[in-house]
Amino acid sequence: ETGVTQTPRHLVMGMTNKKSLKCEQHLGHNAMYWYKQSAKKPLELMFVYSLEERVENNSVPSRFSPECPNSSHLFLHLHTLQPEDSALYLCASSPVAGTEDEQYFGPGTRLTVT
């Protein structure tokens, strides 16, 4: 499998549930990102990892907890979410953590919080 993959593609969860989103990149990149995409709004950068070290935490609530066990895998652990957290969550990777490298996006996980 090539590129950036995300699982699951769709997730419905209650506000008291705990779930995790998974991202895997097969490109040999050293940087990975989580973005939140809401309708009619710009992509919001949530977290950035470079060589498994978090380099950016963009004022994201603690109910979102990222984990990067190695440079190929990235997780987003979710707990006690709110309905306004419903959105498309996109994972991306790039060769290094820097803005002038193309970011390769996965297809996203469509999250609905009920």
Partner 1 sequence: GENVEQHPSTLSVQEGDSAVIKCTYSDSASNYFPWYKQELGKGPQLIIDIRSNVGEKKDQRIAVTLNKTAKHFSLHITETQPEDSAVYFCAASSQTDSWGKLQFGAGTQVVVTP
Residue 106 engages partner 1 in binding (rule: CB under 8 A): yes
| Longest CA–CA separation in the chain, Å | 39
User: Using CB under 8 A, which of 76, 92, 111, 113 touches partner 1?
Assistant: 92
Residue 75 in tokens: 């997780």
What would the DSSP string read from start to end of 53-107? Answer: EEEEE-S--TTEEEEEEETTEEEEEEES--GGG-EEEEEEEESSSSTTSPPEE--
CB of 105 to partner 1, least distance (A): 3
Nearer to partner 1, 66 or 108 (CB): 108
Residue 67 engages partner 1 in binding (rule: CB under 8 A): no
User: Which residues contact partner 1 (rule: CB under 8 A)?
Assistant: 4, 40-43, 45, 48, 55-56, 58, 90, 92, 97-100, 102-103, 105-108
